[in-house]
């Protein structure tokens, strides 16, 4: 279970492969350690066999419009979730990873994108129709359940 929000194995896989993403919120120090620079020099070679490409690399938020965002954002696109997972679990990336994690903490997740033509209104209608949508006692408007 991932943080009690969504069980990734319960999320249906789509018949058509969708782009997936590795997204990280990293917390660099003011001066990057030599091992982090080595990691940066070598990470692309671990992405290439899985079709990974950087969309955003370590950029601090240009403008935080809601909440707070400490750190730098990294977004890497992959042809599919399976490719993203295979990259992260690969021997090459796992060997390289400690060069960053020893000196730059952060959070990383793998997530599916949405299919072409995705309609958020249709998604809302489907959620309303599902059993995952509950009406609390004494409340006229149903609200989605809160994550545990």
Instruction: State which residues of the chain have pLDDT below 50.
Output: 1-8, 10-11
| The pLDDT value given to residue 127 | 85
| The pLDDT value given to residue 5 | 46
Q: What are the φ and ψ backbone dihedral angles of 100, each rounded to 5 degrees?
A: -90, -50
How far apart (Å, rounded) are the C-alpha atoms in residues 59 and 96? 21
pTM of the model: 0.76
Strand partners, 20: 78, 112
Write the secondary structure of the chain as one string of H (helix), E (strand) and C (coil).
Answer: CECCCECHHHCCCCCCCCCEEEEEEECCCCCCCHHHHHHHHHHHHHHHHHCCEEEEEEEECCCCCCCCCCCEEEEEEECCHHHHHHHHHCHHHHHHHHHHHCCCCEEEEEEECCCCCCCHHHHHHHHHHCCCCECCCCCCCCECCCCC
């Amino acid at each position: 279970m991932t943080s009690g929000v969504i069980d990734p194995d319960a999320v249906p896989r789509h018949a058509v492969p969708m782009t997936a993403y590795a997204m990280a919120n990293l917390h660099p120090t003011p001066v990057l350690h030599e091992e982090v620079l080595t990691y940066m020099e070598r990470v692309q070679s671990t992405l290439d066999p899985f079709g990974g490409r950087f969309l955003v690399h370590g950029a601090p938020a240009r403008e935080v419009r809601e909440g707070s965002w400490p750190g730098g954002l990294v977004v890497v696109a992959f042809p599919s979730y399976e490719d993203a997972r295979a990259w992260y679990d690969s021997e090459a990336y796992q060997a390289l990873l400690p060069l960053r994690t020893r000196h730059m903490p952060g959070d990383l997740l793998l997530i599916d994108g949405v299919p072409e033509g995705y309609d958020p209104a249709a998604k809302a209608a489907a959620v309303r129709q599902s059993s995952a949508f509950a009406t609390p006692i004494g409340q006229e408007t149903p609200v989605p359940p809160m994550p545990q």
